[in-house]
Structure 1
Amino acid sequence: MKWLILAPLIIAGSFLAGATSATENTAPANAAEGPSKVEIIERDGKFQLLRNGQPYAIKGAGIDHADLELFAASGGNSFRTWAVDDGALPAKELLDRAHALGLTVSLCLEFAPERVGFDYNDPVAVAKQKEETRARVLANKDHPALLTWFIGNELNFDYTNSKVYDAVNDVAEMIKELDPNHPVTTTIAGFDKRAVKDIQERAPALDFVSFQLYADLANLPKYLKKARFKKPYFVTEWGAVGHWEVHKTKWGAPVEQTSSEKAAHYADSYLKVLEPFGDQAIGNYVFLWGQKQERTSTWYGMFTEDGARTEAVDVMHFIWTGRWPANRAPRISRIQLNGKNPYEGIYLWRGKSYDAEVVIVDYDKDTIEYRWEVRRESRAKEIGGDTEAIPELVQGVVGTSSTPKIKVTAPDEKGAYRLFVYAYDGQGNAAHSNTPFYVK
């Protein structure tokens, strides 16, 4: 039987070194009512974020409505959103919850990207959006949990009209007049040279720039050096390798990493890119403290759909606190289906049965329960994290046994499918793996 080796998560010495600097003291949450004063200072070419006059090292994640209590208990101190009025919770409620837990929030202001049909040549539409933004700023600017403002999310995604950044600058100037206490940024999908140039030329009122990269995060220092970019920046989304950055099968299905491979990638990204360049990378928000459907239900979330923690949560707990959680998530191999891994291209004949198996290692030697399922391959074409439909669950094709090895019967209808396995340790943790296959 061919197995992909369960690669070691961390080289202990280097990871411990990285974690030590991540646990430096940070400014406590402002207990008094009223706004916190947040600023970015520069000394000898090194940048630092201050909150109420004290250095503030962000230990952050992207969160909309997930478990803030667990986030705080895991060492997190700040989270970002993607909306004020259209989020899972109203901004006021989210800010209040954050403040009660000693957390801060980088609040993202709704700002329409060109790809959804917004016309930045339309002065009436632009003025209306500015007034809507004004109302959102006025409603939230004095909350003590507020840290920074984001003007929109990935406005450069498929954009053609550079005037979007004229509008961003106009709103940034307005925010500075209304709220002198909180820095303002906008987020960029990837390292987009054109967008960076447009921002530098058209949006000088921004206090810093924010980048969002996944596997390509490894190249960010090289991009910045080549562009001679000397300003402070946040990395406001980083995490698993993106579905557009991976190997695809002959029928076009992206091959997803296991939860263990993802955890190793989170650690690698932090140690090699975020921690070493902290003089410029003055804040970061890992994606995603929660769960969402995007090509699969497991691709980007650090939790499973039923709320179990994966190894990525363990890694961030270590980065933020310098210690592992009391009970750790299981480690998992790639699924072997009919003796093959997904890189080999797995074709099955409809109605025939095949062996599927996975290897689990649990640090705490907990009893593992398994759940196997088959779903149709996602047909989603959405981009930019837009809402996707959850692929159909195929009934009656996997064994009911909670074991690491089962029989899978290929569905009767030919086409693309995906086999999933979830391994639960009974302590609130889980590992997952999946493999695409095609039925002839």
Structure 2
Amino acid sequence: MARSFFRALPLLGTIAFAEHVWLNQTAGSWQVVSDEGLLGFHGTVRGAGGFTHLSAAAASGAEALRTWGFDQLNDTIEEAESLGLKFSAGIWLSHNKSDYEDCSDMDDDPYWQTELDRVLQGVRAFKASPSILWWTVGNEIEFATEVTKGSECTWRRLEWLVQKVKEEDPMHPVGTVLAGAHDEKVKMIARIATSLDFLGINAYGEDSLKVGTTLQRLGVTLPYALMEFGPTGHWASPVTAWGSYIEESSTEKVPRYMATCELCFSDPQCIGAFAFVWGWKWEKTGTWYGLFNEWPEVTTELTKANCTTCEAEVLGALQKCWTGEEKSSKAPSLHNVKLNGEALEGMRFSVDQEVVSLTVNASQAQGQPLTAVWVVTEEVVSDALGGAFEATNPLLADVFVDSVENTSALGLEVQLNATGLTMGGNYRLYVFVREDPDHCNGPCNNHESVASLAFRICHDAQPGEECYSHVSYAKEYGLHNHPGRYPGVTSESSFAEVQMSLAQKQVGSCQMPCSIQEWCHTAQPGEECYDFVEWLLEGNNTQTAPEALADASSIKGAQQTIYETMPGICARPCKTESLQCYPNCADTGGAGAGSGSSEMSGAPARAFGAVATLLAAALSC
């Protein structure tokens, strides 16, 4: 028998009455209020952005968590009630463009009538729970049309649904969740979706600090909640010369979370902030967003230094922000990683096919002795958007010298054996710093600091090698007579810079030199790449042009496509649509209207932790 998304309603004689929650503005400040008084910290909700680890949320000082759909609420509502926690209860809506194209008759659309029945059934099932904080109708539904503004029909359909939800449950506020606070989008919603009680905004890094001032500048007086906040997003991060994301260490992420948490308390328009992600998920890397580490190969399947339900360094900072109190035992702090004794600038490096020494420099506030777990994966990056499910990259074996484990090494200093790695290959090194189990009085504390470092197997061209001849020819003849063939360099450039230019164009056997970590070049008029891309964008030789070129909207976007698919013409552009678009990317996939059996079918849902496998089949992007 198929399991229902909704728990059975209690008998009339035992039914619980909903706790009335509302938003109140006093002396210019918005507050969340219930029958019991102010909620959160003086009316500002302290939120954990996820629906797992409820006990840890309560112990850390959060009073609310977040769901994206009714199925998640069904799995957790009873535990939340027992802990006195509340949920920002999400109502998932379609991300399919076709579902927001016809608003001519709002009440006579078969798909939306079916959706309305589903939505109201879910609201009806849970509205009496004392753990309902508020409802959010839709999460980033503007992905279906245009993320910077959505569409008239999108927001009319939202308004129609919000009205229906409020009629069904007048006891709780109703909002929606947007991907960023873009001017045109916010203005359209304020004009069309007038029944909203608040705006929910997903924003990361420095962007989360600008939401309040953006709303004030636009004259939007609705209260807002940061429904996801966290580190600098991967879409906004710098990239290496070979195009890999450069991720902040866990210690660098701490002030990102703290600044946003504290800002919400001080902003009279902010009614809550939800730290993302309260759980674990693989999104571009295994460590970017998770506030817990549930990667089995590095937490529970080691011979030594396991870390079950391993808490990220950020959790201590969140508890300090939420409660004003430090954790009794702090997680380690990571200061730097050294390659052959030299501290790396930025979380990336390149090495030849050789054995190198790696050292992590870290400390713990109470002086607890530390150790570290090191692992390596290939750098396989999913092109999924909007938090859609991504598969975990497997660990590589036999990449550390004298390691007891097959796929990991233990200690603050290890030796990486890169001799068997592929020349020109892209990889990622992870180092997890934990308390040393040989020096713990009893079980070690389950917390860690983490660094995730992109690296590439490089090679400096040597006399007698094919690439050396290519570089020598370019410096002596090519750059003087055909400069347009050598993007980003001149006759004054160094040997390594010219080698990098040739490597970017994938000329001959040239690999990226080891001495250059970051390099890119956006094509300029007069260069071979620019002229070729412009010619293709004008519609010439469509049989030669890659299919992906049809979706490129600029020279830079087309250059990225040529760089990836047609070696020998273009270098990697400095800013590309594929790396810089979020949250300005459109959802490019998904099932058709009404297809699939899950309420999240055809939509890029946030899936993480133990539910990732269950939701994966329902997610597409």
TM-score category of the 2 structures, normalised to the smaller one: 0.7 to 0.9
Distance 1:104 1:260 in 2: 29
Distance 1:291 1:344 in 2: 21
Q: Unaligned stretches of 5+ in structure 2?
A: 1-14, 104-108, 300-308, 404-408, 436-443, 459-621
Distance 2:28 2:368 in 1: 50
Pick closer, same or farther for the CA change 1:233–1:413 going to 2, 3 Å.
same
Structure 1 window deviating more from structure 2 (379-388 vs 222-231): it is: 222-231
1:29-54 deviations in whole A, cap 9, x for unaligned?
A: xxx93211001122343221111151
Number of the residue aligned with 2:156: 166
Determine whether 1:429 maps to 2:469. Answer: no
Number of the residue aligned with 1:409: 417
Q: TM-score, normalised by structure 2?
A: 0.62
Q: Which of 206, 213, 216 is the matching residue for 1:222?
A: 213
Pick closer, same or farther for the CA change 1:394–1:162 going to 2, 3 Å.
farther
Q: TM-score, normalised by structure 1?
A: 0.86
Number of the residue aligned with 2:11: none
Distance 2:46 2:381 in 1: 35
Q: Which of 202, 214, 219 is the matching residue for 2:192?
A: 202
- Map 1:278-289; keep pairs closer than 5 Å: 279-289=268-278
Determine whether 1:260 maps to 2:260. Answer: no
Pick closer, same or farther for the CA change 1:76–1:144 going to 2, 3 Å.
same
Determine whether 1:126 maps to 2:112. Answer: yes
- Map 1:83-122; keep pairs closer than 5 Å: 83-85=69-71, 87=72, 91-114=73-96, 118-121=99-102
Distance 2:410 2:153 in 1: 56
How much is the aligned-residue C-alpha RMSD, in angstroms? 1.9
Shift of 1:76: 1.2
* Matched position secondary structure for 1:275: helix
Count of residues in Structure 1 that have an aligned counterpart in Structure 2:
400
Distance 1:154 1:181 in 2: 24
Q: Which of 237, 257, 279 is the matching residue for 1:246?
A: 237
Shift of 1:368: 2.0
Shift of 1:344: 8.3
Distance 2:102 2:356 in 1: 58
Number of the residue aligned with 1:299: 288
Q: Unaligned stretches of 5+ in structure 1?
A: 1-31
Which amino acid in structure 2 is aligned with residue 394 of structure 1?
L
Number of the residue aligned with 1:5: none
Pick closer, same or farther for the CA change 1:189–1:256 going to 2, 3 Å.
same
Give the conservation status (yes or no) of the 8 Å contact 2:249–2:347. no
Distance 1:48 1:73 in 2: 23
1:276-308 deviations in whole A, cap 9, x for unaligned?
A: 20x210111111111110011110011112421
Number of the residue aligned with 1:341: 344
Pick closer, same or farther for the CA change 1:43–1:412 going to 2, 3 Å.
closer
Q: Name the structure with the higher helix share.
A: 2
Structure 1 window deviating more from structure 2 (242-251 vs 220-229): it is: 220-229
* Matched position secondary structure for 2:283: coil
Task: Percent identity, please.
Answer: 26
Pick closer, same or farther for the CA change 1:331–1:316 going to 2, 3 Å.
same
Give the conservation status (yes or no) of the 8 Å contact 1:347–1:438. yes
Number of the residue aligned with 1:20: none
- Map 1:254-403; keep pairs closer than 5 Å: 254-271=245-262, 273-277=263-267, 279-305=268-294, 306=299, 307-338=309-340, 339=342, 341=344, 343=346, 346-350=349-353, 352-399=354-401, 400=403, 401-403=409-411
Shift of 1:325: 0.9
* Matched position secondary structure for 1:432: strand
1:219-266 deviations in whole A, cap 9, x for unaligned?
A: 223322321222211111111111111111011111111111111221
Greater relative contact order structure (CA < 8 Å, 6+ sep): 1
* Matched position secondary structure for 2:317: helix
Number of the residue aligned with 1:47: 30
Number of the residue aligned with 2:17: 34
Number of the residue aligned with 1:78: 64
Q: Which of 178, 194, 212 is the matching residue for 2:202?
A: 212
Give the conservation status (yes or no) of the 8 Å contact 1:249–1:343. no
Number of the residue aligned with 2:50: 63
Number of the residue aligned with 2:565: none
* Matched position secondary structure for 1:309: strand
Give the conservation status (yes or no) of the 8 Å contact 2:187–2:218. no
Shift of 1:362: 0.7
Structure 1 window deviating more from structure 2 (399-408 vs 202-211): it is: 399-408
